[in-house]
Amino acid sequence: MQVVHNHGISLNDLKDIVTILMREHMPALKAEAAATARENAEEFCKTFEEKLAPQIPHINPKNFADPDIQSSIHDAVLNSAKKGKNAHAELLASTLILRLKEAPESYPSLVCSEAIKIIPSLTANQISFLTLAVFLLSTKINSANSLSDLLPLATAVYEMCVDSYPVLESEKGYLQFKGCVSINRFSGGSYLDVMKSNYGFLSQIPDPKEAEKQFIEFAVLKRFSEIYNDTNMSQITLTPVGMVIGVTNMARHVPNIDYKNWLNQ
């Protein structure tokens, strides 16, 4: 026997509320730009509603009435209207939904609020770089017992981010200015060092050369090691905002990722 509990408003009611909020926040622009801006905003609204539908059971409808969350909706719609595809509608919508799923005053919600403001000001390559940094610096697969266990996620991330490499040093400075990363020019180390600290099966190999040999036998891990060195990734520390942007972008391509696992590190 299946029992269904309906609490609060229905999916259709909630979608109507979202649509009304979107329309109310669409900016009044000059006539020559209005048509394009409206088309951009409508496209974002469509993307947002499609992503929202399956998440309805996880959202408190009262969150839509919160003034701060309405401000985030305003930011998302306004930037989508102004920038079109360069606002990164899918990532923006996903981040907005993450915020809606949290209590408005909670730490994850506040971090998502800042990410919503910043995402439209980044290029696709910069977003991919943040995703790459999340994987190289802050990702540990707890169930991994060998290097081969890392390959599915490593390969997926590599295919997502390979086009973002290389990133100019000035772009890293821009990401720091936008509050996505901090940079310490005096930091050092290799990707193998990071992996050894994360995975006991590597750190337990007594001969460092043997550990490196096993590591570089896997092409994607060898390539990540090269990218780690070439981009001076050891100098990068992700901020919570950079972490949310990188993880949320990763989750668009790799299912079953919970961004709070990274925020709680």
pLDDT for 246 equals: 94
pLDDT for 108 equals: 92
pLDDT for 167 equals: 82
Report domain extents, the chain.
Answer: 11-120, 124-263
pLDDT for 236 equals: 94
Question: What's the pTM?
Answer: 0.83
Write the CB contacts of 264 (distance below 8 Å, at least 6 apart in sequence): none
What would the pLDDT profile of 122-171 be if each residue is shown by its tens digit? 999 999 999 999 999 988 888 888 889 989 889 999 988 877 767 888 99
pLDDT for 20 equals: 65
pLDDT for 7 equals: 46
pLDDT for 190 equals: 86
pLDDT for 107 equals: 92
pLDDT for 184 equals: 92
What would the pLDDT profile of 223-245 be if each residue is shown by its tens digit? 999 999 988 999 999 999 999 99
Q: What are phi and psi of 105, to 5 degrees?
A: -95, 5
pLDDT for 6 equals: 45
Three-state secondary structure string covering 119-136: HHHCCHHHHHHHHHHHHH
37 bridge partner residues: none
Query: Cα–Cα distances in Å, from 265 out to 93, 135, 138, 139?
Result: 25, 14, 9, 10
Intervals of the chain under pLDDT 50: 1-8, 29
